[in-house]
Amino acid sequence: MGDPLFLDSRFTELYDSQAAWKRRREYCFYMELVMSAGSVLDVGCGTGELLHLAREAGHTGRLCGVDPADAMLQHARTRPDVEWILGDAASAAWDQEFDLVVMTGHAIQAIIDDENIKASLAAIRSALTEQGRFVVETRNPTLRAWEKWTPDHVSEFFDPNGALVRTWYEIDTVDGDVVTVTSTYTSSGWNQPRIARSSLRFLDLNSLNAFLSDAGLAIEEQFGDWDRQPLTDTSPEIITIARRV
């Protein structure tokens, strides 16, 4: 969900392979929180990797993942001891059922318009228990990461079958805080490149905090990276832990 192109089933098989090295530090951060919570909701769970890891690590409580991509959930459902729901945060109707709600993989950036952000955060607040916490991260827009998303910045990774995949990005438009990008993937075993277009919203700190506050979520802590470094203008991430008010 963090990257809308993975709603396209052609890219599902590549998701975990491409992001594996990036998520090591991220998942160390999240796993500590997940394992200490009795019940956990993962909004934009993708292939369900975080909740799979939690079960493997011995989590015995309720685990639930929700994602709008059915192809993703087909992978997630290989573990039947976790609840998997097709949908998005805005359409959820839980009432104080989860001690922890997370949005990993920059998932909130895939929610573009204000009303959907408001509806999603309102539903997340409703899902939290009285002492529940919500954890979400977004790329820090002050670094203007999209300026490095150019065809001359090619990355490589191996797909689940061991084939080398090359990928690069091209920016189509930058409209305020919304960046639209074309992603291209190639591999020697494919007949043609796989190409998709997606949009991401780069909320600045003030806008993010305002959305959270308006939804009834009080900020408890904010960090600039996965090692819990203080948030600064040069931090790569805005990582927020908030509580239900």
CA distance 58 to 41: 17
CB 74 within 8 A of CB 95: no
| Alpha carbon 142 to chain centroid, angstroms | 19
| pLDDT digits 0-9 by tens, 69-104 | 898 899 899 999 999 999 998 988 899 999 999 999
CA distance 8 to 90: 20
| pLDDT digits 0-9 by tens, 118-167 | 999 999 999 999 999 999 999 999 999 999 999 999 999 998 889 999 99
Give the CATH number of domain 143-200.
2.20.25
Residues of the chain with CATH 2.20.25: 143-200
What pLDDT score was predicted for residue 22?
59
Give the CATH number of domain 4-140+202-244.
3.40.50.150
Residues of the chain with CATH 3.40.50.150: 4-140+202-244
CB 215 within 8 A of CB 123: no
Question: pLDDT-based confidence at 13, cuts 50/70/90?
Answer: confident
Is the pTM here over 0.95, yes or no? no
* Mean pLDDT estimate for the chain: 92
